[in-house]
C-alpha cells in the first residue's frame, strides 16, 4: 500500500510541476494569496448550502454566552470571506482575524450583506499571535476550517484560551484525517503534498482532535 501511495503521489506531483516551479522561484505564495479569496468566494456559497443545517446547529446557542450587556463579543479566526456571518445572532459584535489581507474586500461585501451584525475590526494577523486582542475580552471564539492550515495548533489554542473570558466558548468545525485503512485516508495520503501547496498550507491528514483534547478547555463537545 505504501508503494502504491508513493507512486500515485509522485504522479500527482509531476502533474503539478508548474506549481512547484513557481514555488521554487518564490512566486507561488503571492499567486496563492491573491487568487485564493476569489476561489473561496465561490466555493463557500456552495459549501454553506450543503452545510447550512450543520452550521445552524453548531451556532444555535451562541447568544447564551453574551455578557451582562446582552451583547455577544465574538472573535472569528481565519474569517476568510465571512461565510459564517449569516449564522450569527443579531447585534453580535464581530472582530475578524485573517493572515491574508486580500480577503478584506470580500469581507466588506459580506459585512454589507449582514446588517444584523456589529462589525468591530478586521485584523491582519496569524492566529498564533493575537496580541492585538486583550485577555478575557471575548465571549466566543469561532474557528471553521482553519486548524487544518495553521502552523502551530497548540499555540493558536493557547491564544484562544487567553482571549476568552471565564465561561466563554470556542466553536470549531474542521476536516480531519479519515480513519486509517479507508479509501478516504488513502487518497488523503496521495493528494496531501499537492493539496498543501495548492490551498495555502491546508493539510488533509491532520488529527486536529488530539490538539483540542490537549488544550485546557473545561469541556469539549462534538456534534
Distance CA 188, CA 36 (A): 21
**Which residues are 118's β-sheet partners?**
93
What average pLDDT score do residues 69-76 get?
93
**Residue 223: pLDDT above 80?**
no
Query: Which grid coordinates are listed for 82?
Result: 465571512
Q: What are the angstrom distances between the C-alpha of 149 and each of 19, 52, 91?
A: 19, 23, 30
**Residue 68: pLDDT above 90?**
no
Distance CA 144, CA 221 (A): 15
Q: What order do you get walking across the sheet with 93-98 strand by strand?
A: 118-124, 93-98, 73-77, 138-144, 164-173
Distance CA 50, CA 206 (A): 23
Query: Which grid coordinates are listed for 178?
Result: 479519515
What average pLDDT score do residues 23-33 get?
96
**Residues 151, 128: contact at Cβ < 8 Å?**
yes
pLDDT averaged over every residue in the chain: 94
- Confidence band of 41 (pLDDT split at 50, 70, 90): very high
What pLDDT does 208 receive? 94
What pLDDT does 132 receive? 94
Q: What are the angstrom distances between the C-alpha of 52 and each of 25, 65, 195?
A: 40, 22, 25
**Residues 170, 156: contact at Cβ < 8 Å?**
no
What pLDDT does 218 receive? 82
What are the strands, taking DSSP E only, across 86-163?
A: 93-98, 118-124, 138-144
**Residue 167: pLDDT above 80?**
yes
Distance CA 22, CA 30 (A): 10
pLDDT in tens, 171-219: 999 999 999 989 999 999 999 999 999 999 999 999 999 999 999 888 7
**Residue 150: pLDDT above 90?**
yes
For residue 110, count other CB atoms closer than 10 A to its CB.
22
R_g over Cα of the chain: 18
Amino acid at each position: 500500500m505504501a508503494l502504491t501511495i508513493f507512486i500515485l503521489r509522485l504522479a500527482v506531483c509531476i502533474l503539478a510541476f508548474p506549481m512547484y516551479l513557481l514555488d521554487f522561484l518564490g512566486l507561488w505564495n503571492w499567486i496563492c494569496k491573491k487568487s485564493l479569496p476569489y476561489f473561496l468566494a465561490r466555493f463557500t456559497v456552495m459549501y454553506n448550502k450543503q452545510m447550512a443545517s450543520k452550521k445552524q446547529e453548531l451556532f444555535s446557542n451562541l447568544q447564551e454566552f453574551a455578557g451582562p450587556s446582552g451583547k455577544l463579543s465574538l472573535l472569528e479566526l481565519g474569517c476568510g470571506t465571512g461565510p459564517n456571518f449569516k449564522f450569527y445572532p443579531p447585534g453580535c459584535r464581530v472582530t475578524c482575524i485573517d493572515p491574508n489581507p486580500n480577503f478584506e474586500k470580500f469581507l466588506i461585501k459580506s459585512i454589507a450583506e449582514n446588517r444584523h451584525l456589529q462589525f468591530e475590526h478586521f485584523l491582519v494577523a496569524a492566529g498564533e499571535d493575537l496580541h492585538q486582542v486583550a485577555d478575557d475580552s471575548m465571549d466566543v471564539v469561532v474557528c471553521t476550517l482553519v486548524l487544518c492550515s495553521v502552523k502551530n495548533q497548540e499555540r493558536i489554542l493557547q491564544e484562544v484560551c487567553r482571549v476568552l473570558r471565564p465561561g466563554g466558548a470556542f466553536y470549531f468545525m474542521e476536516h480531519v484525517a479519515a480513519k486509517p485503512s479507508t479509501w478516504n485516508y488513502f487518497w488523503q495520503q496521495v493528494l496531501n503534498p499537492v493539496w498543501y501547496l495548492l490551498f495555502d498550507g491546508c493539510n488533509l491528514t491532520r488529527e486536529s482532535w488530539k490538539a483540542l483534547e490537549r488544550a485546557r478547555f473545561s469541556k469539549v463537545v462534538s456534534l
